[in-house]
Structure 1
């Protein structure tokens, strides 16, 4: 028989509030990240309690860390660099003089 780890040992984790406090952003921003699929992996305990394991925090942090010299991902490029092609002006028509 295989020994299973003791259930009484708690897994190191953070609440959403603790995670937000650790990284210095509002809880509402956390939910924006979650909606975009850019938040850390969550563990749902019961029907309402959400925990974020420290392993998930480390993975999230690594995926969101870049050096000062590296370019941001394409989705984060400034708007000026994502300009669409200019639209050509329509041919102008002469107006008839009003008498």
Structure 2
């Protein structure tokens, strides 16, 4: 990680790899940490982490109302409640996607009848 200090004594560490992470310290205390790239969005097969309802709807290109109807009918993904915040774990999203994926059976042809 590159280590730099600005004029007011803030220390910034940067990692410019595929999962860019930047930490800003003031007097030895971590003030802020930023994560950009695939790590911020979560890897496609992530076991840990979660997304908001808005992020889920954007990822699967569905309307928020559609998600609420799916949840009401018992067909939505499992959610994680933290206080009033509703999050959808990446693992639940992947399981939901697998459940909702429709496999089409091949149509019978004259040769198979």
Structure 1 residue 12 displacement after superposition: 1.0
Once superposed, what is the RMSD of the aligned Cα atoms? 1.3
- Kindly indicate whether residue 60 of structure 2 is the aligned counterpart of residue 36 of structure 1: no
Highest relative contact order (Cα 8 Å, sep 6+), 1 or 2?
Answer: 1
More strand by share: 2
Match of 2:90 among 48, 51, 54: 54
TM score, norm. by length of structure 1: 0.56
Provide the C-alpha distance between the structure 1 equivalents of 2:96 and 2:64, rounded to a whole number of angstroms: 16
Match of 2:100 among 64, 70, 73: 64
Match of 2:64 among 21, 27, 32: 27
Q: Which runs of 5+ in 2 are unaligned?
A: 1-47, 107-113
Q: Which has the larger radius of gyration?
A: 1
Structure 1 residue 16 displacement after superposition: 0.5
Q: Which runs of 5+ in 1 are unaligned?
A: 1-10, 71-99
